[in-house]
Amino acid sequence: MDSVTLSWSSARHRARVWRFPLRVELLCEEEVMATFNSKGKLWFETLQDGPRREMFVLCKCTCRAAPGPSSIGADVCLHGFSHVYGLPEHADSLQLRDTRDGEPYRLYNLDVFAYDLYSRRGLYGSVPLLVAHKPDRTLGVFWLNASETFVNIRYSPTDHQVFPLLLRMQPETDVHWLSESGVMDCVVLLGPGPRQLFSQYAQLTGYQALPPLFALGYHQCRWNYRDEADVKAVDAGFDRHNIPYDVIWLDIEHTDGKRYFTWDPALFPDPVGLQRHLETKNRKLVVISDPHIKADPDWSLFCEARDGGHFVKDREGRLYRGSCWPGECCYVDFSSPDTRAWYSSCFGLDRYKGSTPSLHVWNDMNEPSVFDGPEQTMPKDAVHYGGWEHRELHNLYGFYQHMATLEGLITRSGGSERPFILSRSFFAGSQRLGAVWTGDNVASWEYLKISIPMLLSLSVAGVAFCGADVGGFIQDPDPELLVRWYQAAALQPFFRGHSANVTKRREPWLFGVTVTAAIRTAIQQRYCLLPYWYTLFHQAHTAGLPPLRPLWVEFSRDPSTFAVDHQYMIGGALLACPVTEAALREAQVYLPGCGELWYDVHSAKAYEGGATLSLPLTLDTVPVFQRGGSVVCRSTGSGSCTAELRLLLLSLQGAADGELYLDDGHSFSYRDRKAFCLRSFSLMSGRLSRENAKLGTSSLFISGAKETRAAFEYTESCCRLTVSGLNLRVATDWDIQID
């Protein structure tokens, strides 16, 4: 017998396993969806053992047995698919390219300053998830391996083949995985749709952590704010210019000689007072904490880590030493559970002197970055806990630091408060730990443009809380670029302005009245949408749905959306098309969905879907459209996240619906005590008189209460009805009828 067939889902799904050569076919009904080892590229090398095969490496006159080659590889054919996505992090298009014309996609976490664009080389993080989509099916292939990995992609038939052949052949995509080491652990996610696939992947690797509400506001960062007076001046500047923000950040210079968990005694003599000053305005402070520890025998933290065995070793069993910001450093071995527990304890209020519960953390340089190492990272033969070589778990290094930091901040609060941690390096599952960003970008239009497909790729791969630094970390942006970047970043999950110490100061009010006004508007509009963003993160936390979605996620049967990566959906209701070109006077916006209606959120003008719209632009124009039939909950003001809510109801064929999630915004009470509110809103078909804007009254019925009357205003030019004078609790059932 050459094959055996396994079935499930009432025999709807089957796996057919062929003995020789080994081949596995996955079928739905009678259709083959994917084939493992279809091209016979299954490969694994066994570790060398025994005296006959032993290999030795000479290093400083010391012989050490080397394990020898240990690479693994396999190919998967995806039948009927011609669009695949994922495999972050790369500065490239959303749809993965055919690699026959050059290098494969590389997954190897590296500190890459001012990275090349449209490149398949590895960047700061790696998620080995590939997602394939066609009109009637979405599949995922998850290759769980933390060593250096290459992925080759081959589409067939290709565009250069003759047209008659294209008509006869079914499209397919061949994916070839090759990893330096590890075990072969490959999972195929069957969908069948995008939402089901996201849920399946989240069940496998973890759901997005629900961030504290403040983390969805605006973050102001610079390398570096000079001292406490500088921080307070920047904080006051936001108030003076009426620009909301939630968090101010400190880079490495806030420490005593770049020793993490310390403060410069001259520049930051009263860090507790500084944090309390910010806390009076409900604002937070974030400080940096990198994985390298200054090799200073007179510093108690270094000695504690050294004596406790918490550092990575070299191949000879000595402390591995490398160069980073403090000079010579040792690197914390986060792969050890005991070391992670020790590192977590360093965030305790009794140990981290000068910290308060309002202090949150930024894990940077954790690929890890080693200035004098190969490719500016740790050598592959460095040795971790359990004798594992660094090559085996390189892409997990930053993930483990992120994990230890999270546990430290949760423990600091006695398990009651949700912390915020940003990490530059990441791996599959990092979504359950906090946020990531796209690293050291450049102040150019090209980097602004590439940030959108980069964030969409992260979102498809489960890393939902992601962003790109406003204005570019490196170089100085011109005023138009800065405005457009703020407008774009305000429509992305993580929203931070950051700049290097060699650039000019970049606070929003330093570029003239016009620029300041445009930036203020972009940030204020972000704050008005916080109820919607928070609800989307609840969906990510419970269902695996990313807030940022490629168009094909919502319009899965529209092939016109499959390669679009300059515009995207925010949830299921808003379509954004940020302006990413200089001096652009007209934007081309594709509004998907034949039969759909789309409303410009600024003018409320309606447009039909299934067509491309030419939208005139000014510096203030931000192309955002709301889907007909949706309800988006907004805040009436931008100054507070607890402001009164306003419902924006847009109706398609007389009906609209939406959802709102609320909790205390900071604790785990939503999880531990079910202290949250999840409300559905619907607008049913009704009758409104079509008159010019006028004041009137409406009948308001509240469940279990007598009739109440409220004022309303209807503006015919934009079809907007505003009901005011209401005093309703979101947690209460109520109904509004317009007579």
- Burial category of 392 from C-beta neighbours within 10 Å (exposed 0-12, middle 13-18, buried 19 and up): buried
Do residues 440 and 114 make contact, with C-beta atoms less than 8 angstroms apart?
Answer: yes
Do residues 548 and 542 make contact, with C-beta atoms less than 8 angstroms apart?
Answer: no
Phi, psi of 331 (to 5 degrees): -115, 130
Nearest by Cα to 154 from 124, 176, 121, 135 = 176
What stretch of H or E contains 678? strand 677-683
Identity at 181, one-letter amino acid code: S
Give the relative orientation of helices 228-240 and 271-279 as an angle to the nearest 10 degrees: 10
E-state strands within 316-442: 321-324, 327-331, 359-363, 421-423, 435-437
Catalytic entry in 92, 367, 507, 554: 367
Phi, psi of 59 (to 5 degrees): -140, 110
Is 98 strand, coil or helix? coil
Number of H helices, E strands in the chain: 14, 42
Residues 6+ apart with CB under 8 A from 723: 698, 700, 710, 711, 712, 736
- What residue spans of 9-53 are helical by DSSP H? none
Q: What is the dihedral of CA 692, 693, 696, 702, to 10 degrees?
A: 110
Residue 494 CA to residue 417 CA, distance in Å, equals 20
Residue 440 is among the residues annotated as catalytic for this protein = yes
- What residue spans of 444-565 are helical by DSSP H? 445-460, 479-489, 513-528, 530-543, 551-554
- Strand order from edge to edge, sheet including 495-497: 466-467, 435-437, 421-423, 359-363, 284-288, 247-250, 218-220, 495-497
Catalytic entry in 440, 469, 600, 663: 440
- What residue spans of 347-444 are helical by DSSP H? 390-393, 397-412
Residue 257 CA to residue 264 CA, distance in Å, equals 7
Instruction: Quickly count: other Cβ atoms within 10 Å of residue 505's Cβ.
Output: 11
Do residues 699 and 712 make contact, with C-beta atoms less than 8 angstroms apart?
Answer: no
Do residues 647 and 730 make contact, with C-beta atoms less than 8 angstroms apart?
Answer: no
How far is the CA of 333 from the CAs of 186, 272, 312, 315, 611, in angstroms? 27, 30, 5, 14, 54
For the record, the structure tokens of 466 come out as 């992601």
- Burial category of 37 from C-beta neighbours within 10 Å (exposed 0-12, middle 13-18, buried 19 and up): middle
Q: Categorise residue 12: left if φ over 0, alpha if ψ from -120 to 50, beta otherwise.
A: alpha
Identity at 289, one-letter amino acid code: S
Q: Categorise residue 407: left if φ over 0, alpha if ψ from -120 to 50, beta otherwise.
A: alpha
Beta pairing class for 247-250 and 284-288: parallel
Residue with tokens 């969905």: 593
Give the relative orientation of helices 194-205 and 530-543 as an angle to the nearest 10 degrees: 70
Residue 739 is among the residues annotated as catalytic for this protein = no
Residue 314 is among the residues annotated as catalytic for this protein = no
Catalytic entry in 228, 364, 507, 565: 364
Q: Distance of alpha carbon 52 from its chain centroid, rounded?
A: 49
Assign 3-state DSSP to the chain and report helix, strand, coil percentages, each to 5: 25, 30, 45
Q: What are the residue numbers of the active site?
A: 364, 367, 440
